[in-house]
Amino acid sequence: MNPGTVLAAAAHHPGFLSPTGVEITFVLVGLATLGAALLTVTTKQLVHAALWLVVALGGLAVEYLLLTAEFIAWVQVLIYVGSVVVLLLFGLMLTKAPIGRSPDADSGNRWVAVGVAGAAAVTLVWVVVDAFRSTWINLHGAVQGTSHATGTSLFRHWVLPFEALSVLLLAALVGAIVLSRRTDGGKETE
């Protein structure tokens, strides 16, 4: 964007006091997402943390839909809500996580973590608001994230990283199997 269009955009900048319907929805869903994320990292019950994570990730999928990225939203629902959280719940059960409240869910350096996260939040929000105060996303016009557009660009311009990622997924699969296999066969080599 050249400076002329930036100035023109700032001149009739819509302002924060007259939000559109999409913005109101975005902020409300964002508040729910943020609250669910906070509960994920603060709740004392480990299984509830995984369930609040479902709410946070589902809220993010709604945010993707509001940003017109349809394909990413459904991929988010399928992979994160569908498989990652299920994997996390399996992990919690396999490590015999306590079902009720566990008082030692937080470690001793909790207040240091609060300080670091608070300082990072203040700095990041200040910088981001200062930088993008008058930037406007035009959500009208051609939808940016249909599955047609995403698939076309993915298989036209991003084929090589796509194939490399499939090899990485295969390596991760083999690695997870090797790591989690019971090592009974190792007794012959000892």
Binders of another protein in range 101-160 (CB under 8 A): 104-110, 112-114, 116-118, 120-121, 124-125, 128-129, 132-133, 135-139, 144-145, 149-150, 153-154, 157-158
Contact pick of 4, 95, 160, 189 for another protein (by CB under 8 A):
95
Q: Is 88 in the site for another protein (CB under 8 A)?
A: yes
CB-wise, 4 or 130, nearer to another protein?
130
The tokens describing 141, both together, are: 């016009």
CB-wise, 4 or 167, nearer to another protein?
167
Cβ burial of 2 (10 Å; 0-12, 13-18, 19+) is exposed
Report 42-71 residues binding another protein (CB under 8 A): 46, 49-50, 53, 56-57, 60, 63-64, 66-69, 71
Number of shown-chain residues binding another protein (CB under 8 A): 91
The tokens describing 18, both together, are: 């007259």
Q: Is 6 in the site for another protein (CB under 8 A)?
A: no
CB of 126 to another protein, least distance (A): 9
Q: Is 175 in the site for another protein (CB under 8 A)?
A: yes
CB-wise, 11 or 94, nearer to another protein?
94
Q: Is 188 in the site for another protein (CB under 8 A)?
A: no
The tokens describing 32, both together, are: 């729910």
Contact pick of 55, 74, 77, 97 for another protein (by CB under 8 A):
97
Buried b (16+ CB within 10 A) or exposed e, 151-174: eeeeeeeeeeeeeeeeeeeeeeee
CB of 187 to another protein, least distance (A): 10
18: left (phi over 0), alpha (psi -120 to 50) or beta: beta
Buried b (16+ CB within 10 A) or exposed e, 58-77: bbbbbbbbbbbbbbbbebbb
**Number of Cβ atoms within 10 Å of the Cβ of 85:** 17
Contact pick of 8, 10, 27, 28 for another protein (by CB under 8 A):
27
CB of 114 to another protein, least distance (A): 7
d(CA 71, CA 143): 11
At 25, which helix (H) or strand (E)? helix 21-42
